[in-house]
Structure 1
Amino acid sequence: MEKYQAVIIGFGKAGKTLAGTLAKCGWRVAIIEQSQSMYGGTCINIGCIPTKTLVHDAQLQHDFTHAMARKSSVVELLRDKNYHNLADASNVDVIDGHAGFIDNHTLKVTSPQGECLIQGDKIFINTGARANMPEIPGLLTTPGVYDSTGLLNLTALPAHLGILGGGYIGVEFASMFARFGSKVTIFEAGPRFLPREDEDIAAAVAGILEQQGVEIILNAHIQSVSAGQNSVLLHTPEEILPVEVLLVAAGRSPNVEGLQLQNTDIKLTARGAIAIDPWLKTAVDHIWAMGDVNGGPQFTYISLDDFRIVRDALLGEGKRNTGDRQHVPYSVFMTPTLSRVGLTEAQARASGADIQVVSLPAAAIPRTRVINDTRGILKAVVDNRSREILGVALLCADSHEMINTVKTAMDAHLPYTALRDQIYTHPTMSEALNDLFGMVRDN
């Protein structure tokens, strides 16, 4: 029985950052990871880093095979760096194997080399999330069907990529593979494309994808999937639709299977996530859950903020909690990028707020002429009474950088005029905020 002050299950952003921080404070730490290909977590190995590396190369129209090779080299470099950041510390043990609870304090770790028992004064679950697979007959058994992880390991560019699910992951892969040269078809079961966005933003995204050659099929009720001749066949009530490769992009669910939580007093939510309080504690006082497994927003930067909350609990004043988070932004790395923070127009109107809505075509920004990409639209929602920004959607080049400026202004409760009258360098995309908020009428 090995005993540690802190045991962390999973090598994701929150877990690895916490392990390094506690080690520097002199704690004896164990971090358990079931796969050597996942040192560093989802983001580095199968999420943000590989996909955005491919998006970059697709934008430059690089050869697919060379892009995949470069993606692998970037991932391997960062994975190795993340491993040694912890494994080289004298008071950190990186333990390979699958962890399952025996009781509230004890874990059994199983690996090809055998089993061992570990106890932790404090335990942190950071096991992330896994891809959902809808219960469609044939989906799990038909060759050529992949989740996003499998698709990132293709060795050849598919002539025709089908994407089951028209959400943000599907949009990102659709844009990327269309840029590489694949024919792409999105199969969305619902009647609306990107229903979480305002209709004008969703329509603009759809228009850009269609310009890239992406076909979007709404109300696509896939009844079953089967193998054709070098193809995947999607069976609907009306017809059979063939694609060469099918990506299942139906969201992700918390990774709790195999943790043997029934041996503990840890509770789950109705959605299958580990139930936590605002300080990320589970129903067991010395066990925390961080990152995607706790059911919060599935972003690496939220996992990092989870670390900050736990660090404050262990080493600080214990005041930080999830309620401190304001206006979480996100970016969908299609080309050009879609970024949003705060309320949509529909949400703002439903709230009963007295608002103004302004929008600006990306083509009005001088920088878009310089870089020869005038596609997109910028949109802002402003509260007439407080003059604060309630929400912004940016569908344009470099929006993933611009949105952070907007978030900072919103978090500081600055009036929209702070961005309207700011001095920006020229020619840049950020100076579009002068014009966008310059359209708001002063009341």
Structure 2
Amino acid sequence: MKKFENIIIGFGKGGKTLAGALAKAGQTVAMVERSDKMYGGTCINVACIPTKYLENQAARSEALGGSFEERRERYRKAIEGKRDLTSGLRQKNYQKLDSLDRVEVLTGLGSFVDSHHVQVTMADGSTELLEGDRIYINTGSRPFIPPISGLADCRLAYTSESMMELEELPERLVVIGGGYIGLEFASIFANFGSRVTMIQDGPRFLPRDDEEVAAAVRASLEERGISIITGARITQVKEQDGAAAVVYEADGKTAEAPAQAILVATGRRPNLEGLNLEAAGVELTARGEVKTDAGLRTSVPHIWAMGDVKGGLQFTYISLDDSRIVKSQILGNGERTTENRGQVAFSVFVDPPFSRVGMSEAEAVENGHKVKVGRLVVGTMPRAKLLGRTTGLMKAVVDADTGLVLGAQLFCSESQELINMIKIAMDAGLPYTVLRDGIYTHPTMSEGMNDLFAI
């Protein structure tokens, strides 16, 4: 048996960052990772980095145009490039931790024996028993597969992770689900040249977002040939002769959407398989997530959880901040918590990207705010015109009494950068006039803040 001051289960963003910080502070760390294909975590291997790489390559392919066969060849090269990118990042992440004197990386399935002991089962069946003063769960999440007839047995059905290993560009792609992951893949494959159909059960497209901005996103996707079907109930998935079809009911009628590939993008669930949390006494929420307090402690005081496994927003930068919170509990004064980390912005990398932070107009009103709303059509902006990327709409919501920014939703080129500026203003408690009256370089998308906040 090997004894460590810290055992981290899961080589994700939070886990690897915390491991480095603890080792730097002179503490011993065991990093347990189930798969040698996941060093570095979900983001760099099967999520953020590879999808954004493909998004960039797809946009270039769309600009080049050409026949479907030419697009198919560019897609093949993009998949090869994606594999090279993730392989390189994975190796660097492994080497960075493995090179630290006080860190030992073990590749195998970690399973609790009790609250202080973890058994690691390697690929060859051998086991290693670890003892830890403190243990951290950072095992991430995995795609959820709904119980649709025929779906589990369909060889042409993929998750967001396996879809990026598909070597042949499908002529027709059906996306099950209308969430952000599904939107990104729909945009990527449409730009590569696939005919894409999205099917969602909810009646409203992007129901949690500003209705006017959501309508602009939908219109943009449909102009690019993406068919979006809302309010549909999928009843069956069929496969025959190398093709598939998704059978659904909408508006009282039954229809089929043909496909050479089906993407199941119906959300993700905490990855708890094999952890044996019961042995450690770690409690779960009603949603099946690891239950944590504001300092990310679980129901067992010396066990913490970080990242997707604890529920909430599933972003790699949340996992990163989780590591800061835990570090504050272990090495600091414990002041940093989930309750004081400020606003969380996010971006959906459709084309152009859609980004938001804080409340929408409807949410602000529901929460009792008297609001002022800024609205800017992107096509009027000089930078958008010179880029030839005039699609989009910006909206911002301000508290009419305090002048504080309550939220913003930006559907435009470079929105993934602009949204962080608004987030910082919100965290700093700055009045909207600071953004309105700022002097920005020209011509840039950021100078749109002058007009967006001219309310």
TM range (shorter): over 0.9
Contact 2:12 2:140 in 1 (8 A): yes
**Could you list the per-position Cα deviations for residues 269-309 of structure 1 after superposition, in whole angstroms to 9, with x for gaps in the alignment?**
01110000100000111100000101121011110000001
Among candidates 155, 175, 190, match of residue 178 of structure 1:
190
Structure 1 residue 94 corresponds to structure 2 residue 110: no
Matched residue type, 1:106 = H
- State the partner residue of 1:168: 180
- Range that drifts further, 143-152 or 254-263: 254-263
Structure 1 residue 290 corresponds to structure 2 residue 306: yes
Q: In structure 2, what is the Cα distance between the partners aligned to 1:398 and 1:412? A: 22
**Could you list the per-position Cα deviations for residues 217-275 of structure 1 after superposition, in whole angstroms to 9, with x for gaps in the alignment?**
11221111121222112122413322110000001111112101111211000111000
Q: In structure 2, what is the Cα distance between the partners aligned to 1:432 and 1:92? A: 48
Q: In structure 2, what is the Cα distance between the partners aligned to 1:399 and 1:236? A: 35
**Could you list the per-position Cα deviations for residues 13-45 of structure 1 after superposition, in whole angstroms to 9, with x for gaps in the alignment?**
000001111111111110000100000000000
SS at match of 1:64: helix
Offset, 1:213: 0.6
Matches within 5 A, 1:19-58: 19-58=19-58
- Range that drifts further, 167-176 or 229-238: 229-238
Question: Which runs of at least 4 in structure 1 moved beyond 4 Å after TM superposition?
Answer: none
* Seq. identity, %: 49
Q: In structure 2, what is the Cα distance between the partners aligned to 1:311 and 1:236? A: 48
Offset, 1:66: 1.4
Q: In structure 1, what is the Cα distance between the partners aligned to 2:446 and 2:194? A: 32
- State the partner residue of 2:94: 83
Matched residue type, 1:60 = R
Structure 1 residue 256 corresponds to structure 2 residue 272: yes
Q: In structure 2, what is the Cα distance between the partners aligned to 1:235 and 1:147? A: 18
**Could you list the per-position Cα deviations for residues 360-388 of structure 1 after superposition, in whole angstroms to 9, with x for gaps in the alignment?**
10001110011101000000111111011
Q: In structure 2, what is the Cα distance between the partners aligned to 1:178 and 1:151? A: 14
Offset, 1:211: 1.0
Q: In structure 1, what is the Cα distance between the partners aligned to 2:17 and 2:123? A: 27
SS at match of 1:81: helix
Q: In structure 1, what is the Cα distance between the partners aligned to 2:102 and 2:369? A: 54
Q: In structure 2, what is the Cα distance between the partners aligned to 1:112 and 1:325? A: 39
**Could you list the per-position Cα deviations for residues 285-335 of structure 1 after superposition, in whole angstroms to 9, with x for gaps in the alignment?**
110000010112101111000000111111111111100022210100001
SS at match of 2:165: coil
Among candidates 234, 243, 261, match of residue 222 of structure 1:
234
Matched residue type, 2:184 = E
Matches within 5 A, 1:324-403: 324-403=340-419
Offset, 1:201: 1.1
Q: In structure 2, what is the Cα distance between the partners aligned to 1:239 and 1:392? A: 38
SS at match of 2:114: coil
Q: In structure 1, what is the Cα distance between the partners aligned to 2:175 and 2:273? A: 26
SS at match of 1:152: helix
Offset, 1:111: 1.4
Matched residue type, 2:123 = P
Matched residue type, 1:24 = K
- State the partner residue of 1:235: 247
Structure 1 residue 70 corresponds to structure 2 residue 81: yes
Contact 2:210 2:409 in 1 (8 A): no
Q: In structure 1, what is the Cα distance between the partners aligned to 2:88 and 2:331? A: 31
SS at match of 1:352: coil
Offset, 1:156: 1.1
- State the partner residue of 1:109: 120
SS at match of 2:308: helix
What TM-score, normalized by structure 1, do the two folds share? 0.98
Q: In structure 1, what is the Cα distance between the partners aligned to 2:428 and 2:248? A: 50
Among candidates 132, 156, 168, match of residue 144 of structure 1:
156
Q: In structure 1, what is the Cα distance between the partners aligned to 2:425 and 2:278? A: 45
Q: In structure 2, what is the Cα distance between the partners aligned to 1:432 and 1:69? A: 38
Gapped regions of structure 1 (runs ≥ 5): none
Matched residue type, 1:246 = I
Q: In structure 2, what is the Cα distance between the partners aligned to 1:168 and 1:433? A: 25
Q: In structure 1, what is the Cα distance between the partners aligned to 2:241 and 2:387? A: 43
SS at match of 1:407: helix
- State the partner residue of 1:408: 424
- State the partner residue of 2:139: 127
Offset, 1:116: 1.4
Matched residue type, 1:426 = H
What TM-score, normalized by structure 2, do the two folds share? 0.95
Contact 2:7 2:136 in 1 (8 A): yes
Aligned length: 439
Q: In structure 2, what is the Cα distance between the partners aligned to 1:176 and 1:58? A: 6
Offset, 1:171: 0.7
Q: In structure 1, what is the Cα distance between the partners aligned to 2:39 and 2:401? A: 49
Offset, 1:90: 1.8
Matched residue type, 1:78 = L
